[in-house]
Structure 1
């Protein structure tokens, strides 16, 4: 297999240095390095390029993939870690209590927020972390056996960590000003969503974090807003004139023509 070219390295380096890129920006970059070939009109070339990059990344348990920001429907591309645990995905930047805090926020957003997929800032800062730590014997143990870094994790430290998670795009503010998942969470946690039985969208089969639900009691169907629009596109409605009104307009036209033919100034239908 031929080694990656400078074009492949440019795409990969952009994603690694800048983080996830919107489809618009990623396509623009691809067009610039491929001599003006837009992915929309050169789909096979675009697919082959990504496949070649992924063949190389696979040896390192990484993957270049696309996903959708469920809060606004924007498509993003990014490089993700295929190892399933959150500690590996968050890397060495975050401490044990910070990772525990993120896990608590994640569970609150996907399990407790219903189909809205977001919580308030106050709810976020009151998320518990003591139940997120599994000690050596594999159990979530009592307060007395927890490390001091967990039990002494201050409110101010939660505020600082929340800000960092938003800056690093693991979390994000929604349009309503609440806390939701960031694009890096959507990219990296696909396997986590599935293993934790997060209800999936009936259309795309991806986790329905932010989705519409069926109003029928007992129905658990979820569909993303953007999937709903694709499945049921709005149709142009042709205005229908009520039959009585249509009949009166027709009669009025007939009488007007008859009046002109007979030479009368005005001849209108009489309504009783």
Structure 2
């Protein structure tokens, strides 16, 4: 058996897919072994061989600045794999699928998701579409076109869309853009106390200033009823939420000052709310007062314009 043949077949399979589940990755490994076995004798698949194959494949990918990396999905706690770029601006790897304008739109979405208040790490559909107006480059993208691009981001696994219509980062984006997220959003990036991976959905210690955060699947394996850092007594009901469930209000995400500044160095003003102000309903009495005051004003104005002195009634 030639180990290089198995490596080559497995490498071709992951390059054609880029992102896959743990089950599919192991199926592809088995298929590579079976294909080589048809020509010459091959080893029987086992988990240890899969781990060895991943190491060998990554050695082949290292000169290209690529890596076959794994992470646990925050949604269901299942392991996923992806072929990721280790060099340069990681978002640039989307250029094979999207235009520069669409990549700029995606970066704006990531920016607003990472800067969302209350550690909610999610934005509404309306807020996502508004980002078309904040693109750093001149854009002719319409709201209708933005909706199509958003759907493409979800379909290809770059973003998640919840049942309530909020957008958040997917496991693929977190894994492939991990260096970019940690360097660009150093203060906003949260790490799981258990697995040390980025957290955008999970639970947090409710004690102020405590930095402990857990993925839900990591917390399910944590058996100690105390915070590992501040030793506060824990109950599941009292833990704070991280992710969409942490959304307490509709305040818009803040913007990094360096992202949107004028030529004088001043930050651009936030987009004003175009909705009309609430109309206060007036009762009959208030309407009568308004009418009587209006009549009085009109009489005063008429007297001021009339050169003849007004007659007083006896």
> CA contact under 8 A between 1:68 and 1:186: conserved in structure 2?
no
Contact 1:83 1:89 in 2 (8 A): no
Contact 1:64 1:77 in 2 (8 A): yes
Q: Structure 1 residues 8 and 157 mapped into 2: Cα distance closer, same or farther (>3 Å)? A: same
Aligned residues: 213
CA distance in 1, matches of 2:163, 2:194: 24
- Aligned residue for 1:27? 26
Aligned to 2:58: 54
- Within a 5 Å distance, the mapping from 1:193-204 to structure 2 comes to 193-195=181-183, 196-197=185-186, 198-204=189-195
Spell out, residue by residue over 1:28-79, the C-alpha distance to the aligned partner (whole angstroms, 9 max, x if none): 332344454231xxx2x22221111111101110001111221221211121
Give 5+ residue unaligned stretches, structure 1. Answer: 134-146, 235-272
Residue deviations 1:93-146, cap 9 Å, x none?
Answer: 32222111111111222220544433332222223563x53xxxxxxxxxxxxx
Which of 45, 49, 52 aligns to 1:37? It is 45
- Cα deviations by residue, 1:190-223 (Å, 9 ceiling, x for unpaired): 1112212112111111111112111122323211
SS of match in other structure, 2:77: coil
Matched, 1:126 2:125: no
C-alpha change, 1:231 and 1:175, in structure 2 (3 Å) is farther
Change (3 A) 1:75 1:174: farther
Q: Structure 1 segments of 4 or more deviating over 4 A?
A: none
Which of 171, 178, 185 is 2:173 aligned to?
185
Give the match for residue 75 of structure 1.
79
Q: Secondary structure of 2:81's match?
A: strand
Equivalent residue, structure 1, for 2:94: 90
Unaligned 5+ residue runs, structure 2?
34-42, 226-314
Q: Taking structure 1 as reference, are residues 59 and 4 closer, same or farther at Cα in structure 2, changes over 3 Å only?
A: farther
CA shift in 2, pair 1:4/1:164, >3 Å:
farther
- State the match for 2:10 in structure 1: 11
Quick one: distance in 2 between partners of 1:71 and 1:230?
16
Residues 95 and 103 in structure 2, CA contact (< 8 A), matched pair in contact too: no
Question: 3-state SS of the aligned residue for 1:80?
Answer: strand
| Cα RMSD (Å) | 2.6
CA distance in 1, matches of 2:224, 2:81: 26
Give secondary structure in 2 for the equivalent of 1:231: coil
The alignment status of 1:112 with 2:111, answered yes or no, reads no
Secondary structure of the residue aligned to 1:119 is: coil
| 2:154 aligns with one of 146, 160, 166 | 166
* Secondary structure at 1:199 match in 2: coil
2: CA distance between counterparts of 1:4 and 1:174?
43
Distance of 1:193 and 1:46 partners within structure 2: 29
